[in-house]
């Protein structure tokens, strides 16, 4: 499921949202060391954020995680998140990171959980500050060197070969010369991707990077004109230079609470399915699901108070992940959901009646023996 590919797709790909048939014209790029086979089952990665404190949930949130208003330091929550992702056929997280004491600690913790779970990690280096201003080139270069020194040899980060995948957010803020000065010191240790918004943007920086991670969550796969064609065009631009191509998928979008204006409705999973099929049509090396837990822009698939596990289950259906094992019926549940009960309903009802009869009998005997007391005491179980 983690095999890479190198194919060029025609810019005139079919407008259908289904993946192109095997007979569709595909031109193989001559990329040394890369397979030219179209991946039928690319790895699925979800963008994952480790910024959260308990106070983060007080700002710009319309919904909240089913796990509660967690801190990203909470080990039990991190373990559950990895387990949930794996259950839906997600192969790894693309972790938003830059070097700070808190984020370095959280990345180490996530790395340990991933290692014990057979889960993979990639990185999106957050090269902008809170106000979306680009970080200094020297800081970005230093942080990537730090990342390489710690994780370049770590199998948890080996998605495509032995170099961890690192996407630089906001590469349009930097010149090609700046990007080369950032990438060259770690070029033998990291696979560094751009995050450009257009084919022209990618071609501007292509000589300095190893491919493209396209973070496109605000477009509507059902209504944005040329949505699928743009993915195909981006894929072709990346493959022309033998680059790695990670295509975007999102269940919906609403960033009005953080100053945005665009809304992409979820449509009970239809938006996710359409964007998934459009991504597959670009023959990606990997699918990047936007997102696991970006709650401010409302792109999350993490189980939540509003949606439950609806969108995680939808991803599982698309990855064809096996369903979770059936649970025993909880007889106290009002909706009666669950697997086959341990005892047939008639036996359960009979057992309940016998229990009530015995309880009443014991109570009566005890009450008579304690006639001198003002009130007997009952023990509830």
* Average pLDDT per consecutive 10 residues, the chain (381 residues; last block may be shorter): 43 40 42 65 97 96 98 98 98 98 98 98 96 96 98 98 98 98 98 98 98 98 97 97 97 97 98 98 97 98 98 98 65 41 41 43 38 33 31
CA 168, CA 185: separation in Å to the nearest integer? 15
3-state secondary structure of 219: coil
Predicted local distance difference test score (pLDDT) of residue 323: 79
Predicted local distance difference test score (pLDDT) of residue 357: 45
CA 15 to chain centroid, in Å, comes to 27
Instruction: Judge if the upstream peptide bond of residue 291 is cis by omega within 30 degrees of 0.
Output: yes
Selection from 46, 80, 48 nearest residue 66 by Cα: 80
Kind of pairing between the strands at 211-213 and 244-249: parallel
Predicted local distance difference test score (pLDDT) of residue 36: 57
Of the chain, the end-to-end C-alpha distance in Å amounts to: 51
């Amino acid at each position: 499921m983690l095999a890479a590919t190198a194919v060029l797709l025609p810019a005139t790909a079919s407008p259908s949202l289904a993946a192109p048939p095997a007979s569709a014209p595909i031109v193989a790029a001559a990329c040394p060391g890369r397979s030219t086979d179209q991946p039928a089952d690319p790895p699925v990665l979800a963008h994952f954020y480790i910024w959260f404190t308990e106070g983060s949930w007080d700002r710009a949130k319309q919904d909240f995680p089913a796990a509660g208003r967690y801190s990203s330091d909470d080990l039990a929550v991190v373990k559950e998140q990895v387990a949930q992702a794996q259950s839906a056929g997600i192969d790894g997280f693309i972790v938003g990171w830059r070097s700070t004491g808190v984020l370095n600690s959280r990345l180490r913790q996530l790395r340990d959980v991933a290692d014990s779970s057979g889960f993979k990690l990639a990185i999106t280096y957050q090269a902008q500050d809170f106000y979306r201003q680009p970080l200094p080139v020297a800081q970005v270069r230093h942080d990537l060197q730090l990342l390489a020194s710690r994780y370049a040899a770590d199998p948890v980060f080996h998605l495509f070969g032995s170099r961890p995948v690192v996407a630089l957010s906001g590469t349009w803020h930097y010149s090609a010369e700046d990007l080369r000065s950032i990438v060259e010191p770690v070029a033998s240790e990291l696979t560094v991707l751009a995050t450009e918004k257009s084919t022209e943007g990618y071609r501007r920086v292509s000589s300095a990077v190893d491919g493209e991670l396209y973070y496109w969550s605000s477009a509507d796969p059902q209504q944005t004109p040329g949505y699928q064609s743009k993915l195909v065009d981006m894929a072709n631009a990346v493959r022309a230079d033998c680059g790695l191509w990670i295509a975007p998928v999102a269940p919906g979008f609403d960033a009005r609470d953080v100053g945005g204006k665009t809304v992409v409705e979820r449509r009970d999973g239809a938006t996710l399915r359409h964007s998934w099929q459009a991504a597959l049509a670009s023959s990606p090396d990997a699918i990047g699901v936007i997102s696991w837990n970006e709650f401010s822009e409302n792109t999350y698939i993490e189980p939540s108070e509003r949606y439950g596990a609806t969108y995680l289950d939808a991803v599982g259906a698309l990855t064809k992940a096996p369903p979770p094992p059936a649970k025993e019926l909880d007889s106290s549940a009002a909706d009666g959901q669950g697997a086959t009960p341990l005892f047939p309903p008639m036996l359960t009802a009979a057992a309940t009646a016998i229990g009530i009869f015995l309880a009443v009998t014991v109570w009566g005997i005890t009450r008579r023996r304690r006639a001198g007391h003002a009130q007997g005491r009952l023990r509830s179980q």
